[in-house]
Amino acid sequence: MDFNYLVIEGNIGAGKTTLATKLAEETNAKLILEQFVDNPFLPKFYKDPDRYAFPVELSFLSERYQQLKTELQDRDLFQTRIVSDYHLSKCAIFSKNTLKEDELILFEKMFSIISLQVPRPDLYVYLHVSVEKLLENIKHRGRSYEQDIQHEYLIEVQKGYFNFFKSRDDLHILVIDTNNIDFVNNDSDYTRIKKTIFEGDYNKGLNMVIL
């Protein structure tokens, strides 16, 4: 499938940043990585979600929008393809799991306006990984502020993504089940997932592949 704008998405710990980085390097694409490390509310949110959910979601929405707007408009003459490890829709997905009803109503009004300003990807790839494996990955990479993430929270995030997929028949969405492969450490597995992304012909709506 030919595309200029590819999104690699997934739950926390799915390996989206690693895959996006490898694909961008190999195809000489411009790489957009989410700048979440500098978010001052994130560590506080993981410790006290009820108190910090709204400011963390607002800050993410603002940061993601500003970054995508800048990066997608600033095209490189020698890098016509773009690979990103997130999409702005991530804000809407996570907010449904973290915000109270009145907060969510306000947030969704803001998101509906802002999201119109961001281009749609030519292909949206979601790496599907079991929650048990996600927790192992989170523990292994050792980010201190992620160690309190609960099993139930990851389940709700996963449900949020699939609810989003069902509602978006205007996007080319490819869900790849990666539970049985290791594209990080195994070259043959990486080649398989790369071919699945670049050589497939996917319709609008939800497409699913098990590797």
Annotated catalytic residues are 85
* Amino acid sitting at position 192: R
Residue 182 near residue 189 (C-beta atoms within 8 A): yes
Cα separation, 185 vs 133, whole angstroms? 15
Residue 209 DSSP class: E
Mapping DSSP to helix (H, G, I), strand (E, B) and coil, where does residue 120 land?
coil
Collect all residues with Cβ–Cβ distance below 8 Å to 45 and sequence separation of at least 6: 52, 53, 56, 98
DSSP string, 155-167: HHHHHHHHHHHHH
Show the tokens assigned to 58. Answer: 């607002």
> Are 30 and 82 contacting, i.e. CB atoms less than 8 angstroms apart?
yes
